[in-house]
Amino acid sequence: MQEIVFYQIPISHFCEKVHWALDFKGLPYHSVSVNPFTRKELASIGEAKQVPVIRHGDQVVFESSAIVSYLDEICPDPPLVPEKEPERRECLEIERIADQEIGPAVRRLAYDALTSNRGMFKRLMLPKKGAVRLLNPVKAPLMSITLRWHFGISRKSCARDRISLSRRIALLQDRLDGRGHFIGETLTIADISVASLLCPLEIVKDFSESADFSRIFAWMRSLREEHGRRRWQKQ
């Protein structure tokens, strides 16, 4: 099979979802890291301005859910989405919840925590080698302001996100009910989506260290370790 080109921002949890799906499939691919501010690496593939994106020959596919569907189409085994109902419908519904209701809120809360902690911001977001690191003291506040503006991060938005996420995570935790997977006995895109898109909350202590959510965080950490996925490191 022709190699897939995977355009990603390494810190992106939506990119991690696709990265995990590609690894699970065992497909040949190589990653292109995209500058989150200039996105110049995407110029060669036309209208795409957001990541994740894959290019497979002449085919360009945007957005994580569409990429997952494409990967199942070109490589049905092992499947990311069950073929039979009602498992298929339930799996896609959990993916939708993760993509639309969890992912954006997690991103805002994680970037709020990140931009509020200079040490963590420096460690995760700024260059550590070369002459370019000398510009870090100037770049850091500009990057922080840009991120907060781009994702609409404010006290009001974060307050709303905390309420909505608390409800949604509690429902997913109950739905998992101590099992190893959301659907059946094997990994599906439901598991990958939730375990990828929740991961940045590791740096938001009122979630990651809360007894209310301890079961789903323990599940996420165990699943990610089992499949060799990286963890967000707290300061």
Say which CATH number the domain at 70 has: 3.40.30.10
Query: Residue 234: is its pLDDT beyond 90?
Result: no
| Residue at 222 is within a domain | yes
Task: Report which of 17, 20, 7 is spatially closest to residue 51, judged by C-alpha positions.
Answer: 7
Contact 213, 206 (CB under 8 A): no
Domain limits at 97?
87-226
Residue 60 pairs in a beta bridge with 55
Tens of pLDDT, residue by residue over 48-98, are 678 999 999 999 999 999 999 999 999 999 999 999 999 999 999 999 999
Q: Place 197 in a pLDDT band, splitting at 50, 70 and 90.
A: very high
CA atoms within 13 Å, Cβ hemisphere of 181: 16
Three-state DSSP state, 204: coil
Q: Place 8 in a pLDDT band, splitting at 50, 70 and 90.
A: very high
- One domain for residues 57 and 30: yes
- One domain for residues 53 and 94: no
CATH number of the domain within which 164 lies? 1.20.1050.10
pLDDT at 50: 87
